[in-house]
Chains A and B, each alone.
Chain A
Amino acid sequence: MDDLPLRLAENLDGAFPELVEGLQSELYSGLRSLAGGDAEDLAQETFIRAYRALASYDAARVRNLSLRGWIWTIALNLGRNHVRDRARRPTVANELFDVGRDDPEPADWMAWETRLQKLSLPIRKAVVLRHVVGLDYPEISSVTGRPVGTVKADVHRGLQRLRKIMEDEQ
């Protein structure tokens, strides 16, 4: 993954599948924690926009990208237009992919979605990006546009609040 920006700059179509393989799990899981059932649509749209952006950038710009943070910047900037855009594209026949879908949804995932919904949006983003996705504080700061100190405080407050929510459940 370290030299992926170099390879994307050299051969976008050849290297792009590797970017998807490498980031799809954290992108999907993070979006799932932030946006619930729309996560697959949003992750798909994020990757497609990333591909189009990479195709339009000059090679030097691609080589210098910090990919994880950049992908998350795209994901968080996505508006509601993604549903409209989808109608213009082919889509897989879903019955072909039943294996992936049949995996039982982790029971605790639903519970965690509900708990995370109780946090304010900036705090929820900070907690999810830090602990579900695994970005570091400077990356989160760059993605959310909030200072590092503020992000750290957001994560700290978010975890405290989640502990309190869980105590109240018992």
Chain B
Amino acid sequence: MNIEETLADLRRDPPASLKANVDLGTGLADGVSIFESPVGELAVTFNPRGVSSVSLAELDFEEYFAARFGRRLIEARPPTGWERLINQGIEAGNPGQLPLDLRGVTAFRREIMLIATTIPRGEVRPYQWLALQAGHPGAARAVGSAMANNPIPLIVPCHRVVRADGSLGAYSLGGADNKRVLLAREGFISTRG
């Protein structure tokens, strides 16, 4: 073999991790990692913009994620420092410094999510209160759907948003029982449903 052919023979396929890391780095796929929480294992997804979703790991979250966000998932480590922020966010029920990727969430729903993060741990607020804070007093029902569609439950504490009569209402992360567990852990005991 002459030297030109020998050099051409140095062509090799890269490790599979190259393409996966390009997909993650461009945001064409999100990374997913499992985290512990008071309501069981959570699948937390993220991309360079921030954390994009939280769901129960026992459910078929990959299918859910693809249907809702239209992106693939790759098992991955979060960017440096985010693991600690995610654990803190789950513990505190607040995103703190953790960046969130809320692409695809409407401006109104973002606003409601932001207002929900202002509810202190161990306290609850009715849907109407959030509607009022957002400057749309009649929009309690829309607040309800914003919370039901919150892509980042627990870290964005929609579990602290309840019905006007004090009953807990629905919860997207595994149902009302989980809402009760989370609130009880924060020291809030509901006396109504």
List residues of A whose CB falls within 8 A of some B CB.
13, 16-17, 20-21, 24-29, 32-33, 39-40, 43-44, 47-48, 51-52, 87-94, 96-97, 99-101, 106, 108-109, 112, 127-128, 131-132, 134, 159, 162-163, 166
Beyond A17-B28, A87-B79, A91-B77, whether A24 also contacts B14 by CB under 8 A is: yes
Majority secondary structure of chain A interface residues (helix, strand, loop or mixed): helix
- By beta carbon, the residue of chain B nearest A101 is B15
B192 at the interface (CB under 8 A from A): no
B18-A90 in contact (CB<8A): no
A25-B13 in contact (CB<8A): yes
Which of A17, A93, A97, A163 meets B77, CB within 8 Å? A93
The residues of B that contact A24 with a CB separation of less than 8 Å are: 13-14, 18-19
List residues of B whose CB falls within 8 A of some A CB.
3-4, 6-8, 10-26, 28, 30-31, 46-48, 74-80
A91–B24 Cα gap in the complex (Å)? Answer: 7
B14-A40 in contact (CB<8A): yes
Shortest beta-carbon distance from A104 to chain B in Å: 11
B3-A162 in contact (CB<8A): yes
Beyond A51-B26, A93-B76, whether A43 also contacts B18 by CB under 8 A is: yes
B14-A43 in contact (CB<8A): yes
Majority secondary structure of chain B interface residues (helix, strand, loop or mixed): mixed
The residues of B that contact A29 with a CB separation of less than 8 Å are: 10-12, 14
A47-B12 in contact (CB<8A): no
A87–B48 Cα gap in the complex (Å)? Answer: 10
Knowing that A93-B76, A159-B3, A162-B3 are A-B contacts, what are 5 other residue pairs whose CB atoms are under 8 Å apart, sorted by A's residue number?
A: A13-B28, A47-B26, A48-B22, A87-B79, A90-B76
Beyond A16-B26, A97-B16, whether A91 also contacts B8 by CB under 8 A is: no
- By beta carbon, the residue of chain A nearest B72 is A17
Interface CB pairs A-B, < 8 A, 30 = A16-B26, A16-B28, A20-B22, A24-B13, A24-B18, A26-B11, A29-B12, A33-B10, A40-B17, A43-B14, A44-B18, A47-B25, A48-B25, A48-B26, A51-B26, A87-B79, A87-B80, A90-B31, A90-B76, A90-B78, A90-B79, A91-B24, A100-B17, A101-B17, A109-B12, A112-B7, A127-B7, A132-B11, A134-B8, A162-B3
Shortest beta-carbon distance from B78 to chain A in Å: 6
A131–B8 Cα gap in the complex (Å)? Answer: 6
B15-A100 in contact (CB<8A): yes
B3, B4, B13, B47 interface centre (most CB from chain A within 10 Å): B3
A20-B17 in contact (CB<8A): no
A87–B80 Cα gap in the complex (Å)? Answer: 5
